[in-house]
Amino acid sequence: MQDKIKQRKAVLFGQISQDSAVNPMDRVREKLYNENSRLPFHEVRAVCRHYRRKGMIQGVMMDRKMSAKIEWAQTRDELCTAVEALGFPAELGDACAKHLGSPKAMRRMIAYLQYEKPKKAEIVVDEMLAIRSEIDLWKEKKAAEEANRKYNEMLYYGPFDEE
């Protein structure tokens, strides 16, 4: 038992590589449950169970998904901190994070809050909606470009596949 605790501490402080950890679940828990994250332990356990069932405990797929979730959680925490620093409730920051969706959009919102320092919650919500509408317009533009590319390809090569 003591050896396992020592090894966990060594992994946490970077003294040994994470690949040599005793249990692959320890890697997942350490990535999710650190001092920078607000994830409660029961959510960490639920995520670990999910990845155990999917068979993705070890491997690149698990690392990418976990790092994306960790990045989202840390950016959400930064947004909540920025909202609280302006005197608004943290729930407003959580709602903004859920509505914006991506860490990049949340960082845009954080930059706006730090630069403008709005006095009313309505202004914060209005900016959140503006950022979200810009993202939606960009997605529509990309979808239209893809449809145009396929249409032009059909005009150039013809409507039939000749093999």
For 12-57, how does the pLDDT look when each residue is reduced to its tens digit (9 = 90+)? Answer: 444 444 444 455 556 556 665 554 455 555 566 666 666 555 555 4
pLDDT at residue 7, rounded to an integer: 57
For 41-51, how does the pLDDT look when each residue is reduced to its tens digit (9 = 90+)? Answer: 556 666 666 65
For 112-150, how does the pLDDT look when each residue is reduced to its tens digit (9 = 90+)? Answer: 999 989 999 999 999 999 999 999 999 999 999 999 999
Q: Say how far apart CA 125 and CA 138 lie, in whole Å.
A: 20
Rounded to 5 degrees, φ, ψ at 161 are -85, 115
Q: Say how far apart CA 69 and CA 80 lie, in whole Å.
A: 16
Where does the pLDDT of residue 100 fall: very low under 50, low under 70, confident under 90, or very high at 90 and above? very high
Rounded to two decimals, what is the model's pTM? Answer: 0.57
Q: According to the 3-state scheme, what is the secondary structure of the chain?
A: CHHHHHHHHHHHCCCCCHHHCCCHHHHHHHHHCCCCCCCCHHHHHHHHHHHHHHCCCCCHHHHHHHHHHHHHHHHHHHHHHHHHHCCCCHHHHHHHHHHHCCHHHHHHHHHHHHHHCCCCHHHHHHHHHHHHHHHHHHHHHHHHHHHHHHHHHHHHHCCCCCC
